[in-house]
Amino acid sequence: MARQTKTQGKVVPLRPRKKPSSVALAPRQAKALRKQDAAHLVHGFVPLGLQQNKGVPVFVKGQGIYLWDTEGKKYIDGLASLWNVHIGHGRKEINRAVAEQMKQLAFAPTLIGPTSVPTVQLAAKLAKIAPKGLSRVILTSGGSESNESMIRLVRAYWKAKGKPKKTKFITLEQGYHGTSSGAASLTGIPLFNAQVDPGLPGVIHMPRPYSYRENNGAEELEKIIKREGAGTIGAFVAEPIQGVGGVIVPPDGWWPKIREICSRHNILMVCDEVITGFGRTGTMFASTGFGVVPDILVSAKGVTSGYLPLGVVLFKEEIFQTFLETGDDYAFWHGYTYTGHPTVCAAALANLEIIEKEKLVQNARTQGHYLQKQLAALHELPIVGDTRGKGLIAAVELVKDKATKEMFPAELRIAQQVWEKALDNGLITRVAGANSIALCPPLIITKKQIDEMIDTLGRAIREVAEEMDGEWRRASGK
């Protein structure tokens, strides 16, 4: 049963104090907000006990790569909040663009016809910066919705092509594609699906190219196609680099081989660039960086840097022409009320302008090299087995034994411990995969700030390792 609080139902007025850092609320107010959170708000991915017993930070301000909570505590946003705040917090340009658009026009129902100026401009802009040939654009409100649209697009395409049996999807084990029904079915992380299985039929999960532990090559795809028959498979869908699954970077050559296999067997290749899109890995889209062009590209997050919710599906002209050839009456019969929302599109345009003007894709490449190099230094810590990443996305994998790569027992929740310790030290990270900690800072990050971030993470890992060492000594009587 939800805990009742004295503050239940009351709106706590926000009265920021002048000092310190001019953002802390009065302690009584800060406490009341935490209590209200625990009593009412569901945070989908937070273990209920953690929220109830320890609570979560309530943020009041963001500036650049930093955040402040109600107690005035400062954090480095080492995850760009949820892999998405590319341009950093507190950007006035977005504020202005959004306010201006709201003054002009609140809404236009793109789904049923009439649209708005920024909606059309955004579609054209996306087609311009997309990988070559992806000229058609579907707008949604996030990554999961975009994957739902993608699933429909793939199935509708093969039906229009006269191949209605091509309905199956091949995705990667531990891949993440969202938690709405279709997207969750594509997701290959059992944790997210166990409560709601069975999902969409005809989804096959393939071993991933996790070179630190498993040597799965692109030929795994060939094996599945042989077993299932290319005539039953609509698309192969994967993140260019798995994010939630542990920041798994495929070896060079893996993606080009996947591209070749998909083309040879007449299977659509879809890249889920919800995390990797819009500069994260040092190229506008990670697929291009791996030397491939997908038939369909799904993205979200960085397209607005999280200032407002938006998802996109970019797809090849040939797919659109196939629909058109079936007749002028053809329509998708799919979309959402908020498809192409004017204010959201205005925010996206302003965001993309900042990414271009401030050369943030280039910055992700330059600072990304530095981040990956500095992270490698963490190998000196006794429980760091692997560091990996590309551009400004990275992970540190924690192991019990470096030589054998033996994992810590799951019940120790080692990555969770490091995540908590880092948070206490003022750094936001995320547990990714079984035993890894992910970093994914805003693309505006500087060298000095990278040093600050890695120092804090290193300290958190060291402290957890020392505490464990102490416990081990006590347990073994040494």
Ligand X SMILES: Cc1ncc(COP(=O)(O)O)c(C=O)c1O
Residues in contact with ligand X by CB under 6 A are: 142-144, 147, 176-178, 239, 243-244, 272, 274-275, 300
The nearest distance, CB 344 to ligand X, in angstroms, is: 13
Closer of 98 and 393 to ligand X (Cβ): 393
Closer of 153 and 274 to ligand X (Cβ): 274
Closer of 178 and 458 to ligand X (Cβ): 178
Residue 364, CB-side half-sphere exposure with 13 Å CA sphere? 33
Closer of 244 and 418 to ligand X (Cβ): 244
The nearest distance, CB 180 to ligand X, in angstroms, is: 7
Closer of 85 and 244 to ligand X (Cβ): 244
Closer of 244 and 443 to ligand X (Cβ): 244
Closer of 67 and 183 to ligand X (Cβ): 183
The nearest distance, CB 169 to ligand X, in angstroms, is: 14
Closer of 283 and 449 to ligand X (Cβ): 283
The nearest distance, CB 444 to ligand X, in angstroms, is: 21
The nearest distance, CB 147 to ligand X, in angstroms, is: 6
The nearest distance, CB 177 to ligand X, in angstroms, is: 5
Closer of 145 and 385 to ligand X (Cβ): 145
In angstroms, how far apart are the furthest CA atoms of the chain? 80
The nearest distance, CB 176 to ligand X, in angstroms, is: 5
The nearest distance, CB 185 to ligand X, in angstroms, is: 13
Closer of 275 and 384 to ligand X (Cβ): 275
The nearest distance, CB 456 to ligand X, in angstroms, is: 23
Q: Tell me the CA distances in angstroms from 61 to 21, 80, 288, 296, 444, one per residue in order.
A: 10, 14, 35, 37, 17
Q: What is the 3-state secondary structure (H, E, C) of the chain?
A: CCCCCCCCCCCCCCCCCCCCCCCCCCHHHHHHHHHHHHHHCCCCCCCHHHHHHCCCCCEEEEEECEEEECCCCEEECCCHHHHCCCCCECCHHHHHHHHHHHHHCCCCCHHHCCCCHHHHHHHHHHHHHCCCCCCEEEEECCHHHHHHHHHHHHHHHHHHCCCCCCCEEEEECCCCCCCCHHHHHHCCCHHHHCCCCCCCCCEEEECCCCCCCCCCCCHHHHHHHHHHCHHHEEEEEECCCECCCCCECCCCCHHHHHHHHHHHCCCEEEEECCCCCCCCCCCCCHHHHCCCCCCEEEECHHHCCCCCCCEEEEECHHHHHHHHHCCCCCCCCCCCCCCCCHHHHHHHHHHHHHHHHCCHHHHHHHHHHHHHHHHHHHHHCCCEEEEEEECCEEEEEECCECCCCECCCHHHCHHHHHHHHHHHCCECCEEECCCEEEECCCCCCCHHHHHHHHHHHHHHHHHHHHHHHHHHHHHHCC
Place of tokens 């038939």: 295
Closer of 98 and 275 to ligand X (Cβ): 275
The nearest distance, CB 459 to ligand X, in angstroms, is: 27
Cβ-proximal residue to ligand X, closest one: 143
The nearest distance, CB 324 to ligand X, in angstroms, is: 29
What is the CB neighbour count within 10 angstroms for residue 8? Answer: 12
Candidates 295, 228, 246; CA nearest to 397 is: 246
Residues, the chain, total? 478
